Amino acid sequence: MPKRNTTKPKILIVDDDEAIRVTFEVALSGAGYRVVEAGDGIEALEVTRREKPALILLDLDMPGVNGWQTLERLRKNGFTQSVIILTGHNRVEDRVKGLSAGADDYLGKPCDHRELIAPGHTVLRRSQPAVSGPTFIHLGPTIVDLKNRTAMQAGQPVRLTRTEYAILEVFARHPGELVTRAAMLENVWGYSRQANTRTVDTHIWRLRQKIGDNADVPRWIETVSAGDGYRMMGEVTGG
């Protein structure tokens, strides 16, 4: 019997439609990923606690505890790994709501299998040991330790997601320099689809909230309209 592949991330598929779960499981397993499933929000919370997946593909339209409520509970429970929303509703309003609620990305259903597999590749890349580079980011009272994935603000812990750490790593490699939305998409999410530039904006908005930055008069992460991107003004040390 061949040895089980334990090198790739474990992915949890949450959808009340069994046929969709089977289709996704076949595609992801075929790409080498370990897959677990849940048919509703309550089961998803239990499976997450037990299996500790690196990525959750989460349907929104489920009876009982829906996707929005499941996502909220996951984040409140301290789940900081990636959550990708899956839904047949592809309105801009839904995308912004999902990202603002703590999702890392958004895929409309039905989606191409290549789109489904791509997030797993991104999670795998983020799971690799950190390469040599900046270690700490100082943003006023907030200190981010990129190596150990911790953040403190005036002595209190700040809970950041893996995606938010990945965004800060990109900024840390280019302190004081313009980082375009396209470059951020490529380096953090692994693609450069222009339709998803709102993904970057929403994550920056959420990150600013966590580090105590003012979006109207930002001090640490500035919007550079002419360059179609952002600039981090914090101090970077280590490396």
Structurally, the chain folds into a number of domains equal to: 2
* Among candidate residues 127, 154, 174, the one where a domain is terminated: 127
- Rounded to two decimals, what is the model's pTM? 0.70
The distance in angstroms from the start CA to the end CA of the chain is 44
DSSP states of 154-175? TTEE----HHHHHHHHHHHHST
Task: Say if residue 216 is exposed, middle or buried (CB neighbours under 10 Å; 0-12, 13-18, 19+).
Answer: exposed
Band of pLDDT at residue 13, cut at 50, 70 and 90: very high
pLDDT confidence of residue 231:
95
Per the prediction, the chain carries an average pLDDT of: 83
The share of the chain scoring above pLDDT 90, in percent, equals: 40
- 104 with 164, same domain? no
Determine how many CB atoms are found less than 10 A away from the CB of residue 114.
9
Q: Is residue 114 domain-shared with residue 215, that is, in the same domain?
A: no
Structure-block tokens of residue 88: 């047949």
**Residue 208: which CATH number?**
1.10.10.10
Domain that holds residue 186: 136-237
Last residue of a domain, one of 127, 151, 177: 127
Q: Which of 127, 157, 192 is the last residue of a domain?
A: 127
d(CA 53, CA 82): 9
**146 contacts: CB under 8 Å, gap ≥ 6:** 130, 133, 134, 135, 136, 137, 165, 168, 169, 172
Asked if 27 and 83 sit in the same domain, the reply is: yes
Mean pLDDT of 89-106: 72
Whether 146 and 230 share a structural domain: yes
The pLDDT value given to residue 2: 40
Percent of the chain with pLDDT over 70: 83
Same domain, residue pair 121 and 147: no
Domain assignment present for residue 4? The answer is no
Decide if 149 is inside a domain: yes
Mean pLDDT over 183-191 rounds to: 83
Q: What is the pLDDT of residue 162?
A: 82
In a domain, residue 1? The reply is no
